[in-house]
Amino acid sequence: MTFELTILGSSSATPAFNRNPSAQLLNINEKYYLIDCGEATQNQLNRFRIRSHRIDHIFITHLHGDHYLGLIGLLSSLHLAGREKPLDVFGPPELLEIINIQLKYSQTTLRFELLFHAIDATQSALIYENNDITVNTIILNHRIPCTGFLFTEKPRKRKVNMEKVAEYGIPAEYIPLLKLGNDYEDVKQQRVISNAELTSSPIPPRSFAYCSDTLYNESFLHQIKGVSILYHEATFLHELLPRAEETFHTTALQAGQLAQKAEVGKLIIGHFSARYKELNTLLEESKTAFDNSYLAIEGLRFTV
């Protein structure tokens, strides 16, 4: 199953050095999920030739402009391009008011149904699931209510060893049960063949956690423990820790430390301050705590 992340924007607060504000696209099993939608995200989608009409779910972390100002333009373009299928938008309750007031004054009635899901930023919850994944909120600690998102693959079925199945003469009808972990009860020969003998463990579910924006925060460590990829903001170098704390942001060192404590597979840092033209110092700092660190560079595609 495809599970890919494309970086669309990595700048904090304001566009700088051709870096756009926050936006990332997940392709999970050929379904597109957009996370955050800073200004000009639709231009980024065009630039990287990602067809925006394939996006069916949009998740907005919070109401700072660099995380949602591109949403109205994207909705408007989808409308003008003739979209008819519903679009699910998850975000802070007030986002709906912001959308509606702009549709109202432009006298626009969207051709498609906008299914808005208000997020409660005070406690983590399962906010979405389908056959492929679950999406849970992660409660972040920012200047205004803000939630991250944890995308987790549903557990896969066990792998059946077909040679063993043949050896024990197990009828084909039982295979779905074996995949679910059941033992096989051979009534004729009055024996039980344990599932462990007939199957092997599937690949563990992959997962992606998106954490932006937040003060360094271990309260959600249990949620990101062992995730395949953690995206975590790293707005500043650690030498600016007081500034990070004052603005409810994280330093590159802290992001690395959190990734190390959470034993994640890979860390991607982003949401870079406009003061950094060159980003390698941020990467190097993160790597001192967690070696498998990467920069969120626009256009990069990570396989989860």
Chain positions 120 to 159 lying near a copy of itself, rule: CB under 8 A, are 143-144
Which of 50, 56, 63, 245 forms a contact with a copy of itself (CB under 8 A)?
63
Shortest spacing between CB 229 and a copy of itself, in angstroms: 28
236-240, long-range: CB within 8 Å, 24+ apart, which pairs?
A: 236/273, 237/276, 237/281, 237/282, 237/285, 238/285
Please, which residue, 108 or 195, has the CB nearer to a copy of itself? Answer: 108
Verify whether residue 56 is a known catalytic residue: no
- Integer CA distances (angstroms), 199 to 159, 175, 182, 210, in order: 5, 10, 10, 34
Of 66, 88, 120, 291, the active-site residue reads 66
DSSP 215: S
Give the contact letters, 279-298, x = binds to a copy of itself (CB under 8 A), - = no.
--------------------
Please, which residue, 42 or 124, has the CB nearer to a copy of itself? Answer: 42
CA distance 98 to 103: 9
Please, which residue, 39 or 285, has the CB nearer to a copy of itself? Answer: 39
- Candidate segments 72-80, 133-141, 167-175, 203-211, binder of a copy of itself by CB under 8 A: 72-80
Neighbours of 185 (CB within 10 A): 11
Which of 50, 98, 118, 300 forms a contact with a copy of itself (CB under 8 A)?
98
Residue 94 in contact with a copy of itself, rule: CB under 8 A: yes
Which of 76, 134, 260, 288 forms a contact with a copy of itself (CB under 8 A)?
76
Neighbours of 268 (CB within 10 A): 27
Please, which residue, 101 or 180, has the CB nearer to a copy of itself? Answer: 101
Rounded CA Rg of the chain = 22
Give yes or no for a cis peptide into 120 (omega within 30° of 0): no
Chain positions 1 to 30 lying near a copy of itself, rule: CB under 8 A, are 13-15, 20
Chain centroid to Cα 90, Å, comes to: 13
Read off the tokens for 230: 């953690």
Q: Would you name the residues annotated as active-site residues?
A: 66
